[in-house]
Amino acid sequence: MDRPKLYADNDAMQRSNVNGFLSKFIENMTWKQDEVILEIGCGPGDMTNDILYRVLQNKIKQLVSVDKSAKMIEYANKTYGCSKLNFKVLDIECTNNCDSYSNCFDKIFSFFCFHWVNNLLDGFNNMHLMLKHGGEILVNFLIFNPIVYVHRSMDEEWKKYMDVTKLKSLNIYSKDEIIALFIKAGFRVISVESDAKKFIFPDFSSYIGVASSVDELFNVLPPHLLDKYHMHIKDKMCEKQLLEICPTTGKTTFTYYPITVHAIKD
């Protein structure tokens, strides 16, 4: 996921999801003056700037948004950086990266990031490390990563391209396992929401735009195979009942399974 403009042009679903719950949960948080906030997995920074920062800008002293991709951070700083909002490279799974921020932040937010993290416990432990005592987290990500499913159920002809991706090694966790990992990391879980949601794309090509912005295989497949790979994705997603395509209008309904956790570090 090192193509920031492509990702920003195809994140309507992510925006809809974040807009749907952010204001509700923020009202349930306790706020002080001049808080310093961390966002994990900011990507190209467009949702940070357009949604999170606009909601928080009158409540905070600083918003630090991080991502492991240097290309994403370079794009975000050039496009959206300002005095109260800056973007930095950080890998949430790497404790050495996070040590310098020990007990620095009043709150931590993360949207559509942790389903790309292989070792959730390491990520949650590092969030706990960086959060002040009494600080809160609001984390939203997919329980079920559809791109991981597509990669793991690939036909033989595609598997020779898989070495370039890290998705085949990603762990898959259940809702109960995720909650248990937050508790093991030291958080007191305040609330959890986990309901299936649907997003309607105008056509299947629009869904492919989203898939191409996050699926690393699109970077390496020969151009003449792309249309065939699109059909492979379509078959696998429909087989799993994650996509439903209207035969008359072509409208494509994507079913996804987010989990939202609000927790505190006592």
pLDDT digits (tens, 9 = 90+) for 154-206: 888 887 887 656 565 577 889 999 999 999 999 999 999 999 999 999 999 99
Strand partners of residue 193: 260
Long-range pairs for 191-195 at CB < 8 Å and ≥24 separation?
A: 191/28, 191/261, 191/262, 192/259, 192/260, 192/261, 192/262, 193/21, 193/259, 193/260, 194/143, 194/257, 194/258, 194/259, 194/260, 195/258
Helix then strand count (H, E) for the chain reads 12, 10
Q: Does residue 153 contact residue 238 with C-beta atoms inside 8 Å?
A: no
The residue type at 150: V
CATH (domain of 151): 3.40.50.150
14-34 pLDDT, tens per residue? 999 898 889 889 988 999 999
The string of DSSP codes covering 14-30 is HHHHHHHHHHHHHTTS-
Mean pLDDT per 10-residue section of the chain, whose length is 266 residues: 85 90 88 96 96 94 97 96 94 94 98 93 98 98 89 82 65 92 98 95 96 89 93 94 97 96 97
The string of DSSP codes covering 64-122 is EEEES-HHHHHHHHHHH-BTTEEEEE--TT-HHHHGGGTT-EEEEEEES-GGG-S-HHH
> Residue 164 has what pLDDT?
59
**Residue 203 is part of which domain span?**
4-264
Number of structural domains (the chain) is 1
